Chain A
C-alpha cells in the first residue's frame, strides 16, 4: 500500500471559477477563494512494535466575500454543488451583517504575483507504509542502542505528506503550488539509576525532500544523547547570571520577535516593539531575516495568502528594526505596503506570518560561547507560555546545564528564567556560527548578558 495520488486537483480550477461567479451573482463586489488539499500517512512505532498507523486525506475550500467595505469568510470540506451554493449565499448574508471597515478589500490588482517560481518544494518520492515502519523502527532502535540507560520510549514517528494550494480572486488572479514534507522523530526515555526518576527528550528531522532527511541512526543517537544528559538534573539557587540559549531554544526568541513585528500586533497596540521602526532595539550583533523564497525551505511559498509575491525582508539590521511583517490589511492600517507575509488558514481572514525566519550567524563557535561563560545557565529546553508580547515581560520554565569556567557542571531542571524581551535583545552579547534550518525558524546559539534565574 502506498499513498494515493491527489485525486481532486484537476477539477479545482473549474470549481473556483464557479464559486467566484456565484459570489458575484449574489452581489459581491470582490471575492477570493483558497482550496487546500492534502494526503498523508504517518506511522508511530513504540518498543519496536507498530503503535499507530494514520492515514489522512482532506480537502477544504475557503471563501471571502466583500460587499463594498463589508466582508465575511467561511469554509467547508463538503464540495457538493448544493453545499457550496449554500455556503456562498450564507457568507454573503454574513458580510451584510457586519459593519463597514474602511481598510478592508483585496490587494490592488497590479500587486498580484505574475510569476510563480519553482522553489523546489516538492518531492515525488512515495513512501510505502512498510518503509515508514522500517524507518521509525530503526530510529527508535538507534536510540536504545546508543545508551543502556534508555529503557523506555514514547515512540518514533515517520510521516510523509503531500499538499497543494490553490488561490484565486475576482481580479482574475489564479495561482497554485504543490509541496511535500517528510519527517522522522523519536522520543526516548532514560531511567535515573540514582533516584528512580525518568527523563525524556526528543530529536527530529523534517524536510521537503526525502533524501535530505537525517538518517534514522543520526536522529536516534542524538535523541539518546539529549535524553541521557538530563539524568541527575537538579534545581539551582536563585541568582542573576548570563544565559546561553542553544539553537533549539533560541528559535523561541525569534518566534517572539516575529509576533511582535506582525502588523496585526502593532496596529492593535499589542506589541512591545510599537513605535520602534528605524530605532535600535537589539544588540548590533542581531540581524534577523525573513526569506519566503529559500529553495526547499519549509516556510517557502511562491505567493502569499493574498496572491502577492513573497520576498526576502530584512527585519532587524544590525540591531535596528528595519521592517515590520505585513499583509495588505495591516499594512494599510499602518500606512505601509504589504511585505508579502499574508498567511492564511482556509476560511479565515489573512493574518501575518513569517516564512523562513532566521537570525544571521555570528562569529563564534558554540564552544567558544560556552568557554566565555564563567558562571551561568546553558538552556536546552523551555516550557510554558509566560511571555507577554504587550510588555515584553518574559518568564519561562527552563531545562539545561549549570556552567562554571566554560564547562557544563551538572544538568538543571525546575528553574525559571525571567527578564524583559526589550532588554534581553539588547543584552545579546554573542551569536554563534551554527545556523542550521531544522524547520521554518532557525537560530544559531545565542548568549544573553544576564537574566534572573529562580530556583531554591
Chain B
C-alpha cells in the first residue's frame, strides 16, 4: 500500500476530473475543490462472551464545492462516474452569479504531506478477523476475572482506513491515507439489586500492535471493570456550587466544550459565539495555556493534512489566560483575514468542511496533584466523564462525570453517582486556581459532533482546581 493515494486508486483520470471540476468554475467563484474519498471500516463486537457480530462497510464517493464570497455550493455523489462528477460540479456552481467560465484549472502542485504522523507497520485492513475475535475473547475473560460481581462484558473493536484526495482551483492535488482504530469496553457489575456500569477504551491512528503492547487491551478491560465496581459503592452526588478538581486526561473534555467550540472560526465570523471579539482579552486565569495541535503522532485527533489539504499545526488558543486566536478552515480564514490553521475537517465526502478541533489540551502547570486535592475542604474530584455539550451563543456548557468522588477535608473519600457539571465558557477558566504538573492526553476515544457531522478528536488536561462550579447531583449540600 502506498502512503500517498492517487486518482488511479479511484479508477479516475486526471483529465476527466479536471473536466468535471471546470464545470464548477464561473465568474465570481473564489474557490472550487473536489474531495474524493474511499473508506473501509471493519467492526467486531462481543457480548454474552460471544463474538457474534462482524460488520464490514465500504464507502466511496466525491464531494464538489464552489465558494463565492460567503456562499458555498456543495454536491456529492457516491458514483464516481465522470457524468456524476459533472452533475455534482454543475450543482455546486449554482451559487455563483454568472454562468461564464473562469480560466480552466490545471494541476500545478502535486505534493505529498510533509509529515507522516501515523506510520503503521501493518495496514488496518490487514488485521485478520481471527485476531480481532481473539482479542475480544481475552478481554471478556480478563474483565470477568477482575471481580465476580462483573456479570456482563461488552466490547467492540473498530478500524477505519480512509483514503482521500483533494484537487482545488489553485492547482493543488494532495491526499492522505488515514488509519483510525478504537477498542471500547463496557462492564455491568451487580450486587443484589444494585446494578452499575463502567466503561473504558482507547485507540488512535494506531495499528493492532498498540493494543497488545504493555498489555494495554487487558488494562482497558480491568479499568472498565474497576469503574463498574467503584460505582456499586457510589452515594448520591452533591447538588450546588462547590470547588471541583478534575483529574488529568479525558476530563480535558472541559476545554473542548467550554472554549474549543466557541473558538471555531465560523461562529466568530458570524459573531454568534460567546467568544466573538475577545481576541487579546483575558478569558482564563494566568495559569491556563491551551493549544489545539493536530500534529501529535498517532493521536486520534491528528492528521498529516486536513480535509482541504492544509498541513495541520499547533495553534495557540489561550496563552497565560489571554485569548490568542481561532481555529480555521479556508473559507473562514479568507473571510476573516486570519491565518489558516489546518482545522478544515469533514466527516466524509457527504459533508461540507467546517473548522473543527483536533487535539485540544492545557499545558502542564507547577502544582503537585496531591496538593491540589489537599487544598479543597469540601468539593468534588471527577476523574472520568461521558459526553458534553455547549450552547455556543450563550456560552453555557455541560459535561457529565461517570466516575467522581467527594473531597472531604482535603481527602478523596466516597465515590458518587454520575452527575452533570454546568458552567459558562468565558468564565469557568478564570476560576482555575491550581494547575498540576501531570498533563495527560486522553486514551483516544473522543468523537465530536457538529452540524450532524462526527469527527475523531483528542483532549488533554493536567489535574486542575476550579474554585467553583455547579454540580448537578441529587443530594442537598
Instruction: Name A's B-contacting residues (CB within 8 A).
Output: 1, 4, 46, 49-60, 71-78, 83, 87, 90-91, 93-95, 97-99, 101, 104, 129, 152-154, 189, 197-200, 230, 233, 235, 238, 240, 268-270, 274, 347-349, 383-386, 388, 390-391, 393, 395-397, 399, 413-420, 452-456
Knowing A51-B70, A393-B418, A455-B241, the reply to whether A416 touches B472 (Cβ < 8 A) is: yes
Knowing A189-B393, A454-B472, the reply to whether A395 touches B129 (Cβ < 8 A) is: no
**Residue numbers in B under 8 Å from A95 (CB-CB):** 54
Are B398 and A396 interface neighbours, CB within 8 A? yes
In the complex, per-residue mask of B352-371: 1 if CB is within 8 Å of any chain A CB, else 0: 10000000000000000000
Q: Any chain A CB within 8 A of the CB of B213?
A: no
Question: Smallest CB–CB gap between A20 and chain B, Å?
Answer: 18
Are B70 and A49 interface neighbours, CB within 8 A? yes
A50 to B80, CA, bound (A): 28
Are B241 and A154 interface neighbours, CB within 8 A? no
Are B387 and A49 interface neighbours, CB within 8 A? no
A454 to B244, CA, bound (A): 15
Residue B50 contacts which of A58, A99, A385, A420 (CB distance < 8 angstroms)? Answer: A99
Question: Smallest CB–CB gap between A255 and chain B, Å?
Answer: 15
Are B188 and A94 interface neighbours, CB within 8 A? no
Which residue of chain A lies nearest to B77 when distances are taken between CB atoms in the complex?
A: A57
Residue B239 contacts which of A4, A83, A238 (CB distance < 8 angstroms)? Answer: A238
A384 to B388, CA, bound (A): 5
Q: Any chain A CB within 8 A of the CB of B382?
A: no
Knowing A97-B130, A98-B51, A452-B473, the reply to whether A49 touches B57 (Cβ < 8 A) is: no
**Residue numbers in B under 8 Å from A87 (CB-CB):** 56, 58
Q: Any chain A CB within 8 A of the CB of B463?
A: no
Number of A-B residue pairs at CB separation under 8 A: 264
A10 to B154, CA, bound (A): 42
Are A97 and B133 interface neighbours, CB within 8 A? yes
Are A189 and B272 interface neighbours, CB within 8 A? yes
Which residue of chain A lies nearest to B151 when distances are taken between CB atoms in the complex?
A: A269
**Residue numbers in B under 8 Å from A270 (CB-CB):** 152, 188, 197
- B-side interface residues, number (CB < 8 Å): 83
A318 to B152, CA, bound (A): 33
Q: Which of B19-27, B87-95, B172-180, B432-440 contacts A (4 or more CB under 8 A)?
A: B87-95
Which residue of chain B lies nearest to A79 when distances are taken between CB atoms in the complex?
A: B79
Q: Which of B202-210, B287-295, B339-347, B419-427 contacts A (4 or more CB under 8 A)?
A: B419-427
A372 to B471, CA, bound (A): 29
In the complex, per-residue mask of B370-412: 1 if CB is within 8 Å of any chain A CB, else 0: 0000000000000000111111111111111000000000000
Question: Smallest CB–CB gap between B95 and chain A, Å?
Answer: 5
Are A154 and B52 interface neighbours, CB within 8 A? no
Which residue of chain A lies nearest to B472 when distances are taken between CB atoms in the complex?
A: A416
Residue contacts A-B, CB under 8 angstroms, 15 given? A49-B71, A53-B72, A53-B74, A57-B77, A58-B350, A98-B54, A200-B393, A349-B55, A383-B397, A396-B420, A397-B389, A397-B396, A416-B419, A454-B241, A455-B470
Which residue of chain A lies nearest to B38 when distances are taken between CB atoms in the complex?
A: A78
Are B94 and A1 interface neighbours, CB within 8 A? yes
Are A383 and B389 interface neighbours, CB within 8 A? yes
Question: Smallest CB–CB gap between A411 and chain B, Å?
Answer: 11
Knowing A49-B71, A51-B71, A270-B188, the reply to whether A76 touches B58 (Cβ < 8 A) is: yes
Q: Any chain A CB within 8 A of the CB of B477?
A: yes
**Residue numbers in A under 8 Å from B398 (CB-CB):** 383-384, 386, 396-397, 416
Residue A386 contacts which of B72, B386, B391 (CB distance < 8 angstroms)? Answer: B386
Knowing A397-B420, A419-B474, the reply to whether A50 touches B57 (Cβ < 8 A) is: no
Are B56 and A94 interface neighbours, CB within 8 A? yes
Question: Smallest CB–CB gap between A386 and chain B, Å?
Answer: 4
Q: Any chain A CB within 8 A of the CB of B414?
A: no
A440 to B73, CA, bound (A): 30
A90 to B55, CA, bound (A): 10
Are A386 and B151 interface neighbours, CB within 8 A? no
In the complex, per-residue mask of B456-477: 1 if CB is within 8 Å of any chain A CB, else 0: 0000000000000011111111
Are B196 and A395 interface neighbours, CB within 8 A? no
A155 to B87, CA, bound (A): 27
Q: Any chain A CB within 8 A of the CB of B216?
A: no
Knowing A197-B274, A452-B473, the reply to whether A390 touches B133 (Cβ < 8 A) is: no
A383 to B57, CA, bound (A): 32
Residue B91 contacts which of A1, A200, A349, A454 (CB distance < 8 angstroms)? Answer: A1
Question: Smallest CB–CB gap between B422 and chain A, Å?
Answer: 5
Are B272 and A414 interface neighbours, CB within 8 A? no
Residue B424 contacts which of A50, A71, A383, A414 (CB distance < 8 angstroms)? Answer: A414
Question: Smallest CB–CB gap between B197 and chain A, Å?
Answer: 4
**Residue numbers in B under 8 Å from A75 (CB-CB):** 56-59
Q: Any chain A CB within 8 A of the CB of B15?
A: no
Are B152 and A269 interface neighbours, CB within 8 A? yes
Q: Any chain A CB within 8 A of the CB of B30?
A: no
Residue B272 contacts which of A198, A413, A418 (CB distance < 8 angstroms)? Answer: A198
